[in-house]
Amino acid sequence: MHYNQGDLKSMRKVIESISIDASHAMDCRNQTHTLQTEIHELQKQLLGLIDKKQAVSDDLFIQEFRALGSWIKSFSRDFEVGDMSQIMCITDIRRSRLLNGARLPSGHVISNINYLIEAYMWSILIQEIFDSPFLMLGYRYGDLTDSFTSLFGNDHQNEWPIPHENVERWKYQTIEHFVQEVGFDAIAKGTPAPKNPVMAESISYQRESVIKHIAKPLTCLKTNLEFGNLRAIVNKAFKLSLQMNLQRCRLQAVFPTVGDGFRRENHHGLTSVKECEDVKRGVVAFTVNPGLAKWGDTHGQNLRERVDLVPTLVYVQPPATIKREYID
């Protein structure tokens, strides 16, 4: 707008025009600020919905972990074996994660035989599913486990990285990516995933590998295995591992080393089988059923604090009454 300096009316019009423009600008600025505030609140609400959707209560994890143990226990009771040596002469069993170097109980007791089968089955589930957040994803993504420990170390229990906000974020965001690509059920249950068949094939191959690995030595003890029940057990393990590793906190299957000392009054994270209830001090002969431990809370805070959600079930005996079986 053009005006003459001596023209008061023209000057007044200019000032009024500037004032109107400034008022409009202020309104726009206020609207923008309001919109940004609304967007921020919406983002917080969406994040809260995501956290709420993925967060699983401790009680549910306890229930699911114990349910998996019950299925394994029931499966192990279906074997009729002459004695423990018949089981431990099978290389894949005696060298499995929880039985390697086991201190074998003396005498022929049916429950002891069942405990060995339980320990073997848990060994494979630990080795091929629970030992890393990424094992369930299969052979195509084996480098993820190496990257996990290369980036963050392996100084925690079972050679995991020490729980830390950055570690857990890397963990759950990686798993979230796979869920977005193939869907929750493709990992948990093995359902088809047409969006990413290559990724789904790797997960499916891992599931079948676990089933075959468990079944192979057990068919030496029982030719007509209930493969339907075995598949259900493996599916439960896959689903549980997936839920565990989507959390902001740290959840791990935990267990002691064979030969570790045991004092009943000091081991809140350990409990013994009923046959060993009279042993107050002794050593861990072997782990029957691993425990479930948690570090941190729902929001991924307080990651130094450990809570034992499910105690580890172990077979213990006094050191003087047990003969150590060393496995090469």
Residues 97-150: pLDDT tens digits?
999 999 777 665 677 889 999 999 999 999 999 999 999 999 999 999 999 999
- Dist. CA 139–CA 205, nearest whole Å: 8
DSSP character string of 158-227: GGPPPP-HHHHHHHHHHHHHHHHHH-HHHHHT----TT-HHHHHHHHHHHHHHHHHHHHHHTTT-SS--H
- Dist. CA 98–CA 77, nearest whole Å: 19
Identity of residue 317: Q
Of how many residues is the chain composed?
A: 328
**Tens-place pLDDT, residues 101-114:** 997 776 656 778 89
Number of H helices, E strands in the chain: 10, 7
Q: Which residues contact 115 (CB under 8 A, 6 or more apart)?
A: 76, 273, 286, 288, 315
Task: Quote the pLDDT of residue 30.
Answer: 63
Task: Quote the pLDDT of residue 46.
Answer: 46
Above 90 in pLDDT, residue 151? yes
Reported as a pLDDT band with limits 50, 70 and 90, residue 47 is: very low
Q: Which pair of structure tokens corresponds to residue 322?
A: 């047990």
Prediction pTM value: 0.81
Residue of 283, 306, 288, 287 lying closest to 296 (CA atoms): 306
Q: Where do we find the tokens 């400034």? A: 22
Reported as a pLDDT band with limits 50, 70 and 90, residue 52 is: very low
279 SS3 class: coil
- Dist. CA 233–CA 270, nearest whole Å: 24
Q: Can you say how many angstroms the Cα of residue 164 is from the centroid of all Cα atoms in its chain?
A: 16
Task: Quote the pLDDT of residue 268.
Answer: 77
Count of CB atoms situated within 10 Å of the CB of 217:
18
Mean pLDDT of the chain: 86
- Dist. CA 199–CA 81, nearest whole Å: 40
- Dist. CA 32–CA 18, nearest whole Å: 21
Tell me whether strands 270-272 and 312-317 are parallel, antiparallel or unpaired. parallel
**CA 235, 69, 165: angle at the middle one, nearest 5?**
75
Above 80 in pLDDT, residue 242? yes
